Structure 1
């Protein structure tokens, strides 16, 4: 085989494109209903960003420093987590690694994240991080009680018709097939709550559900 400058350049281009594609595919998350995000998180808080800077958090297996972005926070309210207040959270430095980008503009956010063994809070693009003002009244209300009532339920996302549930303790999430968005009516206005017979059903409304409710109720 004869090696030429052109073939070498072509090989480099292919390797470059492969690497870019690999990075682009590095962060992949399955959409989650806000209730799933709440139930699967160690920490759920309302907070605003007051600072942002890169920090070293150790070394990789080759001895190179590993950087993350540290967001300084002003915690406003805790909905789930330990008794401590969180004044910071950490995220990967780029979106290809699922890093989160937030602005230090005084905006309040609902933030869900994972608690590390050293007590620090870490977040990625796979977590539910949403401007507080963009949340519906039902979503805000559900953070204090209703979402937790359904953590034993399973929310199954429907991606194409037909779709179905496999048991009575599941709720079928159909926002994508009906509205072509994961931020549709069920995400904004419904919670999947366990009933007295241990089955689960969607519940709509700001009032707490009755103990033995049978059907979906309107506000």
Structure 2
């Protein structure tokens, strides 16, 4: 009998104890909130990144990431939420299902087409996304890359292959411009070598190759 009790105690100690989080909502982006003093990543949904661009059916660029975040903020900013923790992500954020007046925030966001069901982490909102897709609600009315694919594409061109050569030689409608770490547009600038863009090891090297310094 003693052995059985000991085993049960061991099981109880090993099981994770998830927290209940509650507080006023501050929207960081369409799938990330501050609830009180806790940063929360909503469970099983994935929204466009803040700087992600989509296209309209006529081919015009549309800042869909910022738009989706603004729509979520209009609905939930300042509301009182209660969240049930499901996990913790690699960034240390609480992954949770959050509700405002009994409404599942994640489900509501996906149903309105402001984010996608993140099936890799759960099928909770699979049918909600399919319903939004059929109705062309929100993001489903645009040409949009999945947020996961966008992050992968962005990372490929934003991380220097050689840590000692971190200067980004970008080509845009404004010409050949190089960005150094710490400048305003450095992080969001991606390098596509197929277009002739390059990484440089020093500002002098970039200037010698025909690039000019970014103004900010």
- TM-score surpassing 0.5? no
Query: Whose helix fraction is larger, Structure 1's or Structure 2's?
Result: 2
Shorter-chain TM-score: what band? under 0.3
Query: If the length of structure 2 is used for normalisation, what is the TM-score?
Result: 0.28
Query: If the length of structure 1 is used for normalisation, what is the TM-score?
Result: 0.28
